[in-house]
Amino acid sequence: MVEMIEKVNNAINGFVWGPIMLILLVGTGIYLTFRTGWVQVRWFGYIMKNTIGSVFKKTDKKKDSNNLTPFQAMTTALAGTVGTGNIAGVTGAVFVGGPGAAFWMWVSAFFGMCTKYSEIALAMKYREKDENGAYSGGPMYYIRNGLGKNWKWLAVIFAILGGLASFGIGNIAQSSEIAGAMTGLFGVKPLITGIVLAIVVAVVILGGVKRIGTVTSYLVPFMSIFYILAGIVVILMRLPQVPAAFATIFKSAFSFKAVGGGVFGYAIMVAMRQGVARGVFSNEAGLGSAPIAHAASSTEEPCEQAIWGVFEVFVDTIIICTITCLTLVLSGFELGEAALETYASKGAAAVAAFNSILPGTLGGLIIQVSLIFFALSTCISWSYYGDRCWGYLTHNNKYVSWGYKIIFCLVCVVGATGSGKLMWDISDTLNGAMAIPNLVALLLMSGVIAKMSKDYFSDKKKIK
């Protein structure tokens, strides 16, 4: 039975992450970049000043008990994006695709900044408010409300795929990594980890979106700063080798040599595929997941909230993923699929790389602690994404919502005790599949995005 699931998944995965998907993902980002006037470049300073810079300013905005603050919406979305993909996923990409995978990660992230900006802007514009004043939004809403009744089927497809993906990328893949980290750190059995994780997740998600936002607003800054500071220490310890490491990344990114008897040009295709796939798996630009969280923001101006998407991708991929990539290259480890198979997991390979640079087992401690927090935050955020997707399909039936949350918590136990590799592969497939309807909608509504951007950024009163 397991072998049959693997075969079916591999067949589907070959399509959703094949050349067509890579072109659609990166191509959409390139197209939107031109349509919006290179938002992520021209307004980068403004975006940083009015996103992370605004966190340190006092605001007089009216408190909204039913929705999230702009910062909470961002941290909830960032909690979903900064996950095990930043460590285990990136490690797998660099081992399989070579150091050049890092370069293609950066390329996909650069254009992905505009993709995420665009999908958040649409989510804000076409979101809906219930009788309690709470907002709901995301690709299913902007497909239905923006494209019209004839496209409702596409909205339904996205919601179904998003609802299923919440159990994969948002739960099973994450709880599997948490279980591995807990076993490595404290020798805790996976079953025990799964049960404790289910209880922790239940305490948070059963409290609703406000509790999720509150928890992530504290958890995300802490875990991100912790990993970034650790990464900076690692890089500083090998500072003389850093220029050579970057040179290796760029050289490998454009290597056309045949690998392992493969055809000419195979190396660059593998690096490109791994880099783009793992980059999207990490920052989720184009998947349509993050807009669901941003749509719950109390902000009324769509583009004002959308600029947080640029900041998210920048932090997730350009900073955090780059730290992982550089550490692997600086470690000097032999790369390749065969080399990766010598480790118990992708996380274990990352632990070995950090340990090769930091004294003792300090590197392993940092990676495993980071994996626990990264994965926990992703679990919490994706529970909300899945809840909103199933809510859309069932007209926000409260019994379905409660049933989903209970099942989601129980799946934490399944993920902690299940097969990590298979769950990663299934999560990867669902990721690619849910991106397709979202990217189609973004392309069809690119004119709306362009107009919103022009109106927002041409208003000089906002540019302070």
Q: How far apart are CA 12 and CA 407, in angstroms?
A: 26
Element (H, E) at 129: strand 128-129
Least confident segment among 70-79, 216-225, 383-392: 70-79
Predicted local confidence at residue 170, as pLDDT: 87
pLDDT tier at 177 (50, 70, 90 boundaries)?
confident
Pinpoint the alpha helices (H) of 39-189: 39-42, 44-49, 70-81, 88-97, 100-125, 139-147, 152-167, 173-186
Predicted local confidence at residue 314, as pLDDT: 94
**Most confidently predicted of 28-32, 70-74, 77-81:** 28-32
- The better pLDDT of the pair 270, 212 is held by 212
pLDDT tier at 6 (50, 70, 90 boundaries)?
confident
Domains defined for the chain, CATH in brackets: 16-55+65-129+145-458 (1.10.4160)
- The better pLDDT of the pair 268, 73 is held by 73
Residue 58 has pLDDT above 60, yes or no: no
Cβ contacts of 327 within 8 Å, gap of 6 or more? 231, 234, 235, 350, 353, 354, 357
For range 294-310, the mean pLDDT: 93
Predicted local confidence at residue 258, as pLDDT: 41
Residue 264 has pLDDT above 60, yes or no: no
Write out pLDDT tens, residues 325-380: 999 999 988 888 888 888 877 878 888 899 999 887 888 888 888 889 988 999 99
Q: Which two tokens stand for residue 7?
A: 């075969």
Supply the mean pLDDT for the chain: 87
- The better pLDDT of the pair 222, 444 is held by 444
Q: Is-contact 16 98, C-beta < 8 A?
A: no
**Residue located via tokens 């039913």:** 66
Cβ contacts of 236 within 8 Å, gap of 6 or more? none
Residue 9 has pLDDT above 90, yes or no: no
Predicted local confidence at residue 45, as pLDDT: 92
Q: How far apart are CA 295 and CA 302, in angstroms?
A: 9
- The better pLDDT of the pair 280, 135 is held by 135
- The better pLDDT of the pair 277, 139 is held by 139
For range 276-305, the mean pLDDT: 89
Residue 149 has pLDDT above 60, yes or no: yes
- From the list 342, 346, 362, the residue with the least C-alpha distance to 354 is 362
Q: How far apart are CA 56 and CA 17, in angstroms?
A: 40
Predicted local confidence at residue 343, as pLDDT: 84
The CB density around residue 446, as the number of other CB atoms within 10 Å, is 18
- The partner residues of 12 in beta bridges, in order of sequence, read none
Least confident segment among 48-62, 292-306, 362-376: 48-62
String of DSSP letters for 51-85: TTGGGGS---PPP-SSSB-HHHHHHHHHHHHSSGG
Where are the strands (E) in 346-394, listed by range? none
Residue 88 has pLDDT above 50, yes or no: yes
Q: State how far Cα 176 lies from the chain centre.
A: 17
Percentage of the chain lying above the pLDDT 90 cut: 51
Q: Is-contact 380 198, C-beta < 8 A?
A: no
Write out pLDDT tens, residues 230-256: 999 999 999 999 999 999 999 988 876
Residue 304 has pLDDT above 70, yes or no: yes
pLDDT tier at 160 (50, 70, 90 boundaries)?
very high
The CB density around residue 188, as the number of other CB atoms within 10 Å, is 16
Predicted local confidence at residue 421, as pLDDT: 64
Q: How far apart are CA 423 and CA 441, in angstroms?
A: 28
Q: How far apart are CA 46 and CA 463, in angstroms?
A: 7
Q: How far apart are CA 340 and CA 22, in angstroms?
A: 24
Least confident segment among 243-247, 270-274, 363-367, 425-429: 425-429
Buried b (16+ CB within 10 A) or exposed e, 300-337: ebbbbbbbbbbbbbbbbbeebbbbbbbbbbbbebebee
Least confident segment among 60-64, 423-427, 450-454: 60-64
Element (H, E) at 128: strand 128-129
pTM of the model: 0.91
Our CA angle for 227, 230, 236, nearest 5°, is 140
**Most confidently predicted of 5-9, 101-105, 414-418:** 101-105
- From the list 174, 179, 211, the residue with the least C-alpha distance to 194 is 179
Cβ contacts of 59 within 8 Å, gap of 6 or more? none
